[in-house]
Amino acid sequence: MAATHECVRNGGNIAEERFVRIGGIEQWMTIRGASCANPVVLIVHGGPGNPMTPYAERLYGAWEKDFTLVQWDQRGAGRTFGRNKGSADAILSVERMAKDGIEVAEYVRGRLGKQKLILKGGSWGSVLGVHMAKMRPDLFAAYVGTSQLVSHPANIAASYDRVLERARAAGDSKTVASIEALGPPPWKNPRNFGVLRRATRVYEGKATDPAPKAWWTKAPGYATAEAEAEYEAGEDYAFLQFVGMDNNGMLSTIDLPKLGTRFDIPVYLIQGTEDLVTTKEVTKVYFDSITAPHKDLILLERVGHDPNAAMLDAQYKVLQSLRAR
């Protein structure tokens, strides 16, 4: 049981960084905010293997006046991977990592004396977010998903088709040839996903506003040679676990509709119209199937799969609306 932080008693700020025992291993967690009286937002990072803790101050620092922000480097990522190097031989699963997320939420609830947290997940983190919201709705006031992954077969097929459409329309014979050479999904070759992802980034870049370059400068504590090596090693490990050597990784298991589309908490999905990884068409079908106390689908022009200023502004607006309730 987490000991309650002194800021709960005096209403002060909190700036905590530490390893916490989650799921039987030491996992890196940060808790930051101007007042422990504020609502708590649990941010579930994407990737897998791409924790936002090194960039948190630049991306989310301004939010700390109104919210207490919690992040953790997931199993197989960042400092958590560095602390548990022996885990490189372990098999990751959505279920195990979602259970980790529930343990994180329970720890934070005890630490900050809160009944419920706001759950925010993006891309890969949106998969864990939905699993967590379905597993323990009592822990969360709302779920906010961005670039929502829904179903591997549906998402990958739509991504393949949309990229081919864009490349053909642009007369980009090189990209057309490289994508057509893959053949329609599903695939066995784990490299195929990377080929498609590179193409989506190119064509999203033509139709979206880029994020400020300053966002992607790591905080000093994460920019040491050791921390950089841990981050990169975690990325490599988590990507292989995600895709699998024979199209049999965590990605192949994603099918959120199978969990049921009834939610006991409000659901907000934030979707870039130019997202070629989790396309708006697939997101809209999933959103329409959801039953929840409240739901909203926010479509953003000139936004793709990855964060930019418009995406973060939309997330903050949703969080503020929840804060006002």
Residue ranges and CATH numbers for the domains of the chain are 7-155+207-323 (3.40.50.1820)
Residue 70 to residue 85: CA distance in whole angstroms: 24
Structure tokens at 245: 């050597």
For 167-198, letters b (16+ CB in 10 Å) and e give beeeebeebbebbeebeebebeebebbeebee
- Residue 245 in contact with residue 91, Cβ under 8 Å? no
Residue 121 to residue 142: CA distance in whole angstroms: 11
Structure tokens at 310: 């418009």
Residue 68 to residue 308: CA distance in whole angstroms: 22
Q: How would you classify the pairing of strands 25-33 and 14-22?
A: antiparallel
Residue 51 to residue 44: CA distance in whole angstroms: 8
Edge-to-edge strand list for the sheet holding 40-44 = 14-22, 25-33, 68-72, 40-44, 117-122, 140-146, 267-272, 295-300
Residue 193 to residue 160: CA distance in whole angstroms: 10
Taking Cα atoms as reference points, which of 298, 236, 310 lies closest to residue 266?
298
pTM beyond 0.95, yes or no:
yes
Q: How many residues does the chain have?
A: 325
Structure tokens at 165: 């459409």
pLDDT tens digit at each of 325 positions of the chain: 688 888 877 778 999 999 999 999 999 999 999 999 999 999 999 999 999 999 999 999 999 999 999 999 999 999 999 999 877 778 999 999 999 999 999 999 999 999 999 999 999 999 999 999 999 999 999 999 999 999 999 999 999 999 999 999 999 999 999 999 999 999 999 899 999 999 999 999 999 999 999 999 999 999 999 999 999 999 999 999 999 988 899 999 999 999 999 999 999 999 999 999 999 999 999 999 999 999 999 999 999 999 999 999 999 999 999 998 8
What is the pLDDT at residue 1? Answer: 65
Start-to-end CA distance of the chain, whole Å, equals: 29
What is the pLDDT at residue 52? Answer: 97
What is the pLDDT at residue 142? Answer: 98
Number of H helices, E strands in the chain: 11, 8
Residue for token digits 């039953």?
291
Residue 117 to residue 131: CA distance in whole angstroms: 15
Residue 146 to residue 122: CA distance in whole angstroms: 5
Q: Which residues contact 262 (CB under 8 A, 6 or more apart)?
A: 290, 291, 292
What is the pLDDT at residue 87? Answer: 76
Residue 23 to residue 103: CA distance in whole angstroms: 7
Residue 175 to residue 302: CA distance in whole angstroms: 22
- Residue 42 in contact with residue 119, Cβ under 8 Å? yes
Structure tokens at 256: 């959120």
- Residue 146 in contact with residue 315, Cβ under 8 Å? yes
Question: For the chain, percent helix, then strand, then coil, each to nearest 5?
Answer: 50, 20, 30
